[in-house]
Structure formats: C-alpha cells, structure tokens
Amino acid sequence: MHRITFDPYKRIEITLIGVGGTGSLLLTHLLRVDVAIRQLGGAGLHIRAFDPDVVSVTNLTRQNFAPADVGRYKVIALIERCNLYAGRAWEAFPRRAEPADFAQGNHVVISCVDSGKSRREIYEAMQGRHVHYWLDCGNERDTGQVVLGQLRGGPERLLHILDRDATRMQGREVNTPSCSAAEALTRQSLFINPHIALEAAELIGKLILHGETKHGAVFVNLTGTVRNVALEVPETKPSKKKKERPLLPLRKPRTPRAARARPVGE
C-alpha cells in the first residue's frame, strides 16, 4: 500500500501535458475529482494544461471536442469549458511545456503524449523540480498503460514509466495529421482513449480521495481475454513520516456473520 505524500486538503497543483485523445477525456474526469474534493472539505484542484495543437475535423471522432471547437486551440477550448461549467480559474497554455513551467512545483504532473521524444522532454524538465507524482498515460492501437510514479524517494518509491520501460522515452516526434476519420480510426481504436483516461482518473482519484493506493500501474488490452491488469504496489516497511488525513477514509469490509445453526426438527 502506498500512502499519499502531500496534504489533500490544500490546493492540489496539477500540470496536464497533452489534451488530445486521452488528455481531453481525462480533463473531464479531473473536474469530477475536483468537485468531490471540494464537497469533502478540500481546496480542490488547480490545473495548468499545455498543448500546442489546434482542433481539426478528424479530432471530433476520438477526442472530446465539438464541431464549434474546430480551428481553436485544444487546450483553450477545453479549459474554458471547465471554467465556465464549474466556475474555476484553471489555466490554458497553447504551447509545449518548458522546464521553467515546473519551477513552482507540482503535486502531480500528468503526461498524455504520443511519442518517446515528448516523454523524454517532460522527464528531463522535471529533474531537480519538486514533483510529488508523475502519472503517465500512453497507448497504441488497442493497448495502453497508466503508470503512477515518483522521481524521488527511497526503496518505497513508486516506479515511474521509464523505470518500468526505458524504451518509452525513445523515438522521434511523429505528428502527421490524419486525412480522414477512417484513417484516424485505423491508427487507434475508437475506445482505447476512454479506457486509458478512466483508469488514470481512478488511479489518481483514489490516491487523493482515500489518501492511499494499492496499485501503481494499470495495463489495458482491448483485444485480450483479460482487458485490464493492475500492478500492486510492493509491500514496504511502515513509514515513520506523518500520515496525511484522508478526505474519504476507506471503510474496512464487514465480515459476514456466520449463519446460526438451527436445531434439528425446528
């Protein structure tokens, strides 16, 4: 079991990098997490989102955009929608994240990027910065992974995506736009991004709301017999550090009562 390393009652700073197939859907889930935190007495989330891309017609098939968004920056359209809906002051940056953007510190950095080059740049930008968690989301056509990790810590540190698979930072940027919806759906399944976004939201949501998580990664395969596989956090020695008070403590399952034996003939 891994216990949260920051106070969930204080404002939680989240940097979201990439609001395309997975990131655009994940942002909506994060808004639900934010509402839940506030209703439980917390200060909620503050999200800073980065993405340099503009909404195209082909994005309407798999991404969380409306026809009226075509031609607008993805990140501005989405953050504006969240702010208007919930009265938030989240920030949108229609550009790539830079090292200076991590200087103020982050509780969680979420990467929803398509290439090893982008993931490598994010990893390098976070070096020496105060980042509690790195939540990485990635996918291929029918498969994907969500990995919750930490850049610093002792033996109990959660392994991040590059600890688990160093090849995830290899490769160059491939940013060829799809010419049609059919081509876009050939490259990626229509439902892989919703799966990844939901698993990511549940992983970070449980950590924040309950103050702990027993899973550090989830792998998805839409073509397999077993669709989702979650990796449990290895058991470690109890930490002497102060345990943060959870917003919503987990209740232990009740042990069912044994049935009372009836006398024979009753």
Number of domains the chain is built from: 1
Q: Is residue 237 part of a domain?
A: no
Q: Is residue 125 part of a domain?
A: yes
Answer whether residue 184 shows pLDDT above 60.
yes
Q: Is residue 253 part of a domain?
A: no
Dist CA 203 CA 59 (whole Å) = 26
Dist CA 135 CA 23 (whole Å) = 12
Model confidence pLDDT, tens digit, residues 118-166: 999 999 999 989 999 999 999 999 999 999 999 988 778 899 999 888 7
Q: What dihedral angle (degrees, nearest 10) is formed by the CA atoms of 243, 232, 162, 197?
A: -90
Return the CATH number at 130.
3.40.50.720
Q: Two tokens at 105?
A: 């510190």
Answer whether residue 63 shows pLDDT above 90.
yes
Answer whether residue 12 shows pLDDT above 90.
yes
Model confidence pLDDT, tens digit, residues 197-211: 999 999 999 999 999
Q: Is residue 25 part of a domain?
A: yes
**CB 195 within 8 Å of CB 171:** no
Q: Is residue 162 part of a domain?
A: yes
Please give the sequence-ordered ranges of beta strands (E in DSSP) within the chain, or none if there are none.
2-3, 12-17, 45-50, 91-93, 106-112, 131-139, 143-149, 212-213, 215-221, 228-232
Domain residues for the domain of 141 are: 2-232
